[in-house]
C-alpha cells in the first residue's frame, strides 16, 4: 500500500503542472487523494473599485479576496486619477496575505501663469472722442 501511494505521488509530481503545490492524503479508506495547497490574498485599497492584476491577468476590483497556489506573484493595482501600486507578493499555504493601503492621487500640473494686460475699454472711447473732436474742429474752420 505504501509503495503504491509513493508511486502515485511520484507520477502526479511528474505529470501535473501544479504538483509542487499539491499534497497527498491517504484517507481512512486507504485511498490516496491529491489536494492542492492554497493560500489567499485580500486586497483592500482606497478608493474602492480599483482594478487588480496578478501576473498581468485581470482578477477583479477592490475589495478583492482570491485563493491562489503558494508562490510569488506580481501585483498591480490601478484606478483612474491615481498612481498605480506595483509590488511583488508571496502567498503561503493556508495563510492569508493582506494588503490594505490608500492609492496616491495623481498631482495635476498647475496651469502656467499668464499675464493678461489690463483691459483698456476706456482708451477706445478716448480715441473715438478725440477723433470726433478733431473732425468737428476741422469742419468748423472751413
Which of the pair, 24 or 56, is modelled with greater confidence?
Answer: 56
Per the prediction, the chain carries an average pLDDT of: 79
pTM of the model: 0.56
- Please say if the pLDDT value at position 110 is more than 70: yes
Q: Is the dihedral of CA 53, 59, 63, 65 positive or negative?
A: negative
Which of the pair, 4 or 138, is modelled with greater confidence?
Answer: 138
| Contact in structure between 54 and 99 (CB atoms under 8 Å) | no
Task: Give residue 74's pLDDT band: very low, low, confident or very high (50, 70, 90).
Answer: very high
Place of cell 511583488: 88
| Contact in structure between 75 and 50 (CB atoms under 8 Å) | no
pLDDT score of 28: 62
Task: Give residue 34's pLDDT band: very low, low, confident or very high (50, 70, 90).
Answer: low
Task: Give the pLDDT mean for 50-70.
Answer: 96
CA pair distance 74, 72, nearest whole angstrom = 7
Task: Give the pLDDT mean for 33-55.
Answer: 90
| Contact in structure between 52 and 73 (CB atoms under 8 Å) | no
- Please say if the pLDDT value at position 67 is more than 60: yes
Task: Give residue 32's pLDDT band: very low, low, confident or very high (50, 70, 90).
Answer: low
pLDDT score of 44: 96
Amino acid at each position: 500500500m505504501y509503495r503504491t501511494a509513493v508511486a502515485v505521488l511520484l507520477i502526479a509530481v511528474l505529470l501535473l503542472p501544479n504538483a509542487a503545490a499539491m499534497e497527498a492524503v491517504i484517507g481512512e479508506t486507504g485511498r490516496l487523494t491529491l489536494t492542492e495547497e492554497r493560500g489567499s490574498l485580500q486586497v483592500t485599497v482606497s478608493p474602492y473599485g480599483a482594478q487588480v492584476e496578478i501576473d498581468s491577468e485581470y482578477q477583479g476590483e477592490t475589495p478583492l479576496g482570491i485563493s491562489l497556489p503558494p508562490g510569488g506573484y506580481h501585483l498591480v493595482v490601478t484606478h483612474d486619477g491615481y498612481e498605480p501600486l506595483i509590488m511583488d507578493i508571496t502567498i503561503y499555504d493556508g495563510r492569508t496575505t493582506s494588503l490594505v493601503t490608500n492609492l496616491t492621487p495623481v498631482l495635476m500640473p498647475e496651469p502656467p501663469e499668464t499675464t493678461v494686460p489690463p483691459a483698456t475699454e476706456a482708451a477706445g472711447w478716448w480715441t473715438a472722442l478725440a477723433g470726433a473732436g478733431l473732425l468737428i474742429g476741422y469742419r468748423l474752420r472751413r
